[in-house]
Amino acid sequence: MTGARMSKGDATRQRLLDAAQRSILEKGFTATSIDELIAECGLTKGGFFYHFKDKNDLAKALLRRYIAEDEEVYDRIFSQARDLVDDPLQVFLLGLKLLADVMGDMPNGHPGCMVAVSTYYERMFDRELRDINTEAALQWRRRFRAILDEIGTRYRPREPVDLDELADLVSSVLEGGIVMAKALHDPVSLKRQILTFRAMVQALFVRIPEG
Amino acid sequence: MTGARMSKGDATRQRLLDAAQRSILEKGFTATSIDELIAECGLTKGGFFYHFKDKNDLAKALLRRYIAEDEEVYDRIFSQARDLVDDPLQVFLLGLKLLADVMGDMPNGHPGCMVAVSTYYERMFDRELRDINTEAALQWRRRFRAILDEIGTRYRPREPVDLDELADLVSSVLEGGIVMAKALHDPVSLKRQILTFRAMVQALFVRIPEG
DNA sequence: CCGAAAACCGACCAGAGGTACAGTTCCGAT
DNA sequence: ATCGGAACTGTACCTCTGGTCGGTTTTCGG
């Protein structure tokens, strides 16, 4: 990616993935034609099928790449949060704040989540792609769950909640926030949704007395 | 719908919408072919275009019908909640509980939200359809906002939250919960997401002393 | 400079999506 | 019974789409 030495073929592959991602998030998978992609990237049919054996293969590569970049963003944000504060609850709250900022700084709003798109095209894809999708969701759960476990050592929830479900709720708010921001035509909405959720997290946990 | 007298034409129209909704939620809009729909409903191309002037027109009718049914469900649930309890916070909490039950009782999980699908196909649709979509989101906001306003007369939030944003967060949790349930291949997940959110609402509000 | 692998070209195909419209059947009101 | 519109049928046509394949150029190590 960023300046990494890559062959001409790799560069073309990346350009195809970029074009595909933009178009798919805008119009959907089936509405994105191969003809359209190769026109944008300045190559021909043969060139495309040299890189991907079929359209499903493209979707697979795209989803993998998307998830990898997504994970990178989360890693960066939460390691940054850990550097700045110690208390696990404060780490989580700061992480949500930083995440909200990232989402809010996107000029046209979040472009959409490939995982969400894939769930709505489930039946069109092969098993492997569906598994990639499920794994991404589980990865999110593990990530947030880990932080929640740390929080649990020093705080207790005012109301009983299962931590796996609370972890999933973070993902739900993000996915749902993206949908709502698009539906409302209000790019900043996603940021506010995250911050409102953050306030609710803050209200949920109460410090356990030391000892 | 339910037993209401309808002409043969209306019945066909409904069957077409039923088939379209099922297919669109499963495969997406563009992947749903007219040929497929007419085969399922036992009529021909011409018959289809007698009812809908084009595919966009079908989408429009479908979205309108979906939203109307959706509103009916919410109306029923929250009026039921109002009949059972008095306190506004309890009405909201009971409403969320009933909603969770409805979602949990769907054998194959929530089939998906047409509004969410539409947001990911935005650029394909005309302005009218996009407006319908936005209006649906605003309608949800008004609905939940009204309840939250009532709650605000007797409770205060532990952390500062904007009530419009909290209202939108309800929608986000529902939309995101549907996506996550599909991604995780766990139909019951949506129900648990709603209940976890419910617990957070309960933790958020604290009674204002009378007087 | 050479040769082989990588990267790409472009003609072609079968089938699906979508449009148009003239003709036919159904059906209820008069 | 019959008339007129509603509810279709049948067909002809055209574009676009995913995908194939043999051939050509580019690249690059030796």
pLDDT per residue as tens digits for the range B96-138: 999 999 999 998 889 999 999 999 887 788 888 889 999 999 9
Shared domain for B110 and B160, answered yes or no, is yes
Residue A7 has pLDDT above 90, yes or no: no
B121 touches strand C (CB under 7 A): no
State phi, psi for B155 to the nearest 5 degrees. -130, 155
Considering chain B, what percentage of its residues have pLDDT values greater than 70?
A: 96
A156 within some domain: yes
Which pLDDT value is given to residue A123?
Answer: 83
E-strand ranges in chain A read 155-157, 205-207
Of the candidates A141, A180, A124, the residue with the CA atom closest to the CA atom of residue B113: A180
> Residue A1: what pLDDT?
40
Q: Is A161 inside any structural domain?
A: yes
Residue A103 and residue A37 share a domain = no
Name the closest nucleotide to B8, judged by C1' and CA.
D7
**A75 and A10 belong to one structural domain:** no
| B46 and B73 inside one domain | no
Mean pLDDT for all residues in chain A? 94
DSSP B209: P
The string over A171-204, giving b where at least 16 C-beta atoms fall within 10 Å of a residue's C-beta and e elsewhere, is: bbbbbbbbbbbbbbebbebbbbbbbbbbbbbbbb
What crossing angle do the helices spanning B88-105 and B55-84 adopt, rounded to 10°?
A: 130
Residues 25-64 of A with CB under 7 A from strand D: 30, 32-36, 45-46, 49, 53-56
Q: What is the pLDDT of residue B2?
A: 38
Q: Do A124 and A77 reside in the same domain of the chain?
A: yes
Residue A57 lies in a domain: no
- Clarify whether residues A34 and A117 are in a common domain: no
Q: Are residues B124 and B185 in the same domain?
A: yes
Number of Cβ pairs < 8 A linking chain A and chain B: 194
Q: What is the pLDDT of residues A154-169, one digit of tens each?
A: 999 999 999 999 999 9
Do A123 and A40 reside in the same domain of the chain? Answer: no
Same domain, B102 and B133: yes
Distance D27 C1' – A9 CA (angstroms): 11
| Residue A142 and residue A82 share a domain | yes
Q: What is the pLDDT of residue A4?
A: 53
Residue numbers in B near A137 (CB within 8 A): 180, 183-184
- Which three-class secondary structure state does DSSP give residue A187? coil
Residue B203 Cα, gap to closest chain A Cα (Å): 5
Q: CA nearest A111 in B: which residue?
A: B120
For A157, the closest chain B residue by CA position comes to B203
Query: Which of A182, A191, A205, A206 is the best substitution to test chain B (most B C-beta atoms within 10 A)?
Result: A182
Give the span between the Cα atoms of B92 and B81, in whole angstroms: 8
Q: Is A3 a residue whose pLDDT tops 50?
A: no
Could you tell me the residue range of the domain that residue B105 belongs to?
55-207
- The CATH number assigned to the domain holding B1 equals 1.10.10.60
Q: Please tell me whether residues B47 and B99 are part of one structural domain.
A: no
**Number of structural domains chain A divides into:** 2
